[in-house]
Amino acid sequence: MVSEPVPVSRPTDAAGIAGVSLASHLKGTLVLGLPLVGAQLAQMAINVTDTALIGRLGPEPLAAAVLATQTFFLVWMFGAGFAQAVMPVAASAAGRGDVRGIRRSVRMGLWVVLLYGALVMVPLWHTEALLLGLGQEPRVAALAGDFMRILQWSMVPALVLVTLRSYLGVLGRANIVLVITVFGALLNGVLDVAFIFGRFGAPALGMAGAAYASVGTNIAMALAAVLYTLKAPGLRVHELYVRFWRPDGSAFAEILRLGWPISTTIIAEVGLFAAASVLMGWFGTVPLAAHGIALQLASIAFMVPLGLSSAGTIRVGRAFGARDWTGVGRAGSAALILSLGAALVGAILFWAIPRTLISLYLDPDAPDAAAVLAIGVPLLFVAAAFQFVDGLQVVASSLLRGLKDTRIPMLIAVFSYWVIGMPVAYILAFPLGLEGPGVWIGLAAGLLVSAALMTWRFHARARLGLTPA
């Protein structure tokens, strides 16, 4: 049975409105995007806190925790693609005023991530065997396996949180997303100190304490999001949890259809940077350390276009649902313009004060500090240049998601990163002898091709049949 769409509120300052000017779209994207940027930075703060505090336990626990968390992160990122698929589907439903469509997409998104989370528990439980098979040291693999058997219980709440973040973003409630994530960052820091070092009357559990802290933090954030979406005025109309057990085959299939290409696209990019780290490791510890510092600085700067990209998905998706083809173009242009502006700020900082930024991560009295600084500065110069293309590619990819276009962008990503980016990085670094800068130029080349193709595809949307005009 097909029901008539029910009107849904459209926040004037955060979710796109049909027919508004480009200037209004710029303002609306900022209003929606800045809290999402803040949430991304708060999420990064959680990861940095874990790494910094575990590092005080010594190199072996740190190495084990890094292996476990990177494994967890890859599995979580793939699942997060399905959670992110909720965003364009719900945004399109919101654009046409369809409350039932919003409910169906979010509810089935939760179904998908709950099933995914249950399925991956078995392989995560055997992380030690996986790491041994990849040639890791037995002692480190054993520590990582023990760490993962605690950490893996945060998978389901972490994916539930991403799904509900997509829902709240679509409804223009990004400030709540920011509040929940900042709360999580603060809670995680307190729990880390308590359970790693035995403060505040808690037992000193070492690196296991960090895993328990992560589980507690993710459960707390997920519960906060569930309670808010259950009780907040204006959201009860969606009845997300009423008859939650009732399946919806078509909505479930749509989340799967859009989600797996998003997941693959994310993994293709994450894998590119992971492979670049492997290449840098072949040059030795000092180049790898310089690479790690430059990469973290670039990642911090990347949080701005990443937050704006989510705002772009939502605003394009709402215009798409409302069949406002002019609004689709203006929403997309606003997100791209703001991304370029953010990239310019980051690039200027990287070009102007690279030594200062890199020195923040170094002990000046350490014997290798000068060598790390000397290698890191040229890498940061290259990072400054690829801020532009990295920002463009993530925003353009997200704009296409707003049009429910995910399979071709997935192919573009795989081609750009693995047919162009990685071979260019290897050739420049080794046969041509550019070493570290060559690896980073290869990264930039892959991102450039991806940015060009995805931006072209969005601007050619009518010609490609993605929109009628």
pLDDT tens per residue across span 23-43: 899 999 999 999 999 998 888
Predicted local distance difference test score (pLDDT) of residue 445: 95
Query: Has residue 1 got a pLDDT over 50?
Result: no
CA atoms within 13 A on the CB side of 254: 21
Cβ contact 287:373 at 8 Å: no
pTM: 0.87
**How far is the C-alpha of 315 from the C-alpha of 11, rounded, in Å?**
11
In the numeric block, the tokens 């039932």 are attached to: 100
Choice among 147-156, 171-180, 247-256, 353-362 with the minimum mean pLDDT: 353-362
For the segment 391-401, what is each residue's pLDDT rounded down to a tens digit? 999 999 999 99
Helix, strand, or coil here: 292?
A: helix
* Confidence band for 183, pLDDT divided at 50, 70 and 90: very high
Q: N- to C-terminal Cα distance for the chain?
A: 31
Task: Provide the residue ranges of all domains of the chain, joining segments of one domain with +.
Answer: 36-247, 255-469
Predicted local distance difference test score (pLDDT) of residue 139: 85
Going by C-alpha positions, the residue among 10, 34, 307, 404 that lies closest to residue 170 is 10
Residues 6+ apart with CB under 8 A from 348: 384
Other beta carbons less than 10 A from residue 250's beta carbon: 8
Burial of 436 (0-12, 13-18, 19+ CB in 10 A): buried
Cβ contact 390:452 at 8 Å: no
**How far is the C-alpha of 360 from the C-alpha of 285, rounded, in Å?**
19
Query: What amino acid is encoded at 407 in this protein?
Result: R
Cβ contact 188:213 at 8 Å: yes
C-alpha R_g of the chain: 22
CA 236 remoteness from chain centre:
28
CA atoms within 13 A on the CB side of 79: 28
C-alpha separations of 436 from 17, 139, 142, 384 in Å? 46, 31, 32, 15
For the segment 251-300, what is each residue's pLDDT rounded down to a tens digit? 999 999 999 999 999 999 988 988 888 788 788 878 878 887 888 888 88
Residues 6+ apart with CB under 8 A from 309: 335, 339, 394, 395, 397, 398, 399
Predicted local distance difference test score (pLDDT) of residue 419: 97
* Confidence band for 3, pLDDT divided at 50, 70 and 90: very low
Higher pLDDT, 189 or 20: 189
Sign for the CA dihedral angle at 386, 388, 389, 393 comes to: positive
Query: Has residue 130 got a pLDDT over 90?
Result: no
Predicted local distance difference test score (pLDDT) of residue 54: 80
